Structure 1
Amino acid sequence: MEETLFKSESSQSRAEIAAYLRTVADRLDADGEVTLSAGEQSQTLAVPERPVFEVKVERETSSSGSAELSLELELEWDEGASDTDASLDVS
């Protein structure tokens, strides 16, 4: 069963998104505690030292033929999970 604890979606400039991702990266680099806030919603996460990091690019095509691209960056972990080693580069 999946439960959504926090969700936010808004149109932002690339610079705003980059600044947000830098803040998340800084928090991950520091103590791993990340607090997400949007309006009255707030969720604090204690990210473990080695979560699973998934990067996915998708193309969704509607029945009319128009396409939408998405880039998803996801961190996953659960208690007692073993570490996963994989090489990933971005350029």
Structure 2
Amino acid sequence: MPEEVLFETEDRRSRAEIASYLRTLADKLDADGPITLTAGDQSVTVDPPERPTFEVKAEREGPGDGPGELSVEFEIEWDEGEGGDSGDGELSIE
């Protein structure tokens, strides 16, 4: 199935600003309701199920012989209309 981007934003932010966004997202997830993302004229509302799949990935992109771009990605995913799945193991962030 082809990917359809419903919302996307990218901007440089301070670590404190990013932490604030992630805390707000965590609060919304705890509240068990829908989550609305808004930036400029873009807006989308999603309603994650009780047990979505949570993926954490750290990667390096770029040429093999020099410095690249490092990233940490957090992804919450689920099939539309389904309740989610259990994961592979316990995640720990230190």
Q: What's the TM-score once normalised by structure 2's chain length?
A: 0.88
In the TM superposition, residue 67 of structure 1 has moved relative to its aligned partner by: 1.1
1:80 aligns with one of 79, 82, 89: 82
The CA RMSD measured in Å over matched residues stands at 1.6
Match of 1:34 in 2: 35
The answer to whether the 8 Å contact 1:32/1:48 transfers is no
Stretches of structure 1 that go unaligned for 5 or more consecutive residues are none
**Are 2:53 and 2:84, in contact at CA under 8 Å, matched by a contact in 1?**
no
* Displacement after TM superposition at 1:82 (Å): 5.0
* Aligned equivalent of 2:45: 44
How many residue pairs get aligned? The number is: 91
Partner of 2:25: helix, strand, or coil?
A: helix
Do 2:49 and 2:82's aligned partners in 1 also have CA atoms closer than 8 Å?
Answer: no
Identity %: 56
| Partner secondary structure for residue 28 of structure 1 | helix
- Residues 81 and 67 from structure 1, CA distance in 2 versus in 1: closer, same or farther, beyond 3 angstroms? same
Match of 2:63 in 1: 62
Once residues 82 and 17 of structure 1 are traced to their aligned partners in structure 2, the CA distance between those partners, rounded to angstroms, is: 26
Secondary structure of 1:26's counterpart equals helix
Where does the alignment leave 5 or more consecutive residues of structure 2 unmatched? none
* TM-score where L is the length of structure 1: 0.90
The structure with more strand, counted as a fraction of residues: 1
SS of the residue corresponding to residue 66 of structure 2 reads: coil
CA deviation vs aligned residue, 1:6-58 (integer Å, no higher than 9, x gap): 00000000000000000000000002311101000001110110000000001
